[in-house]
Amino acid sequence: MTLIQTNRPSLLTHRSGLGAFVQLQEELERLFEATASPSGTQFFNVWAPALDVYEDKENLVVKLEVPGMKKEDFKIELHDGVLSISGERRFEDRRQKAAGYRSERFEGRFHRSVALPKTVQSGQVRAAYKDGILSITLPVAEEARPKQIVVGTE
């Protein structure tokens, strides 16, 4: 996908606490510019796989539904409390061989980012890919885990 950068100032960027809205505004601007451009059809080669995030006693777990890929197709990064997952799913060129063609499966590049709600131990992050599900386990840092405090007598 070709991203079109604009130098237009955003009206929301000067206000604090509106980072998510600024990001949404920028993504919407890119969406409309990409579909309005002559190469706008490239927009439709981008997809966003379903993503789940949950926490157990010791870990944050991220699961991404990405069937038809290989483990080598993923790029996973952790930076400043944000987990970024990207990759590209490609299918064989069916259009060349088929008399008729209809495809409902997404292919192309994807990029998902998740702001982690807790500090994690970055050196112990694990990723596994099985049966079309990419699972990323991020151990929560000891200082970010809840502590039980015992009440004593005075």
**Per-residue CA distances from 40 to 32, 46, 86, 102, 138 (Å):** 9, 11, 21, 20, 37
The answer to whether residue 6 sits within a structural domain is yes
- In this prediction, residue 2 carries a pLDDT of 35
Domain termination site, one of 27, 45, 63:
45
Whether 149 is in a domain gets the answer: no
pTM of the model: 0.64
Residue 90, pLDDT above cutoff 50: yes
Question: Counting beta carbons within 10 angstroms of the beta carbon of residue 64, is it exposed (0 to 12), middle (13 to 18) or buried (19 or more)?
Answer: buried
Whether the pLDDT of residue 131 is over 50: the answer is: yes
Based on the fold, state whether residues 28 and 63 are members of the same structural domain: no
- The mean pLDDT of the chain is 79
Under the banding of pLDDT at 50, 70 and 90, the label for residue 46 is: low
Phi, psi of 91 (to 5 degrees): -115, 160
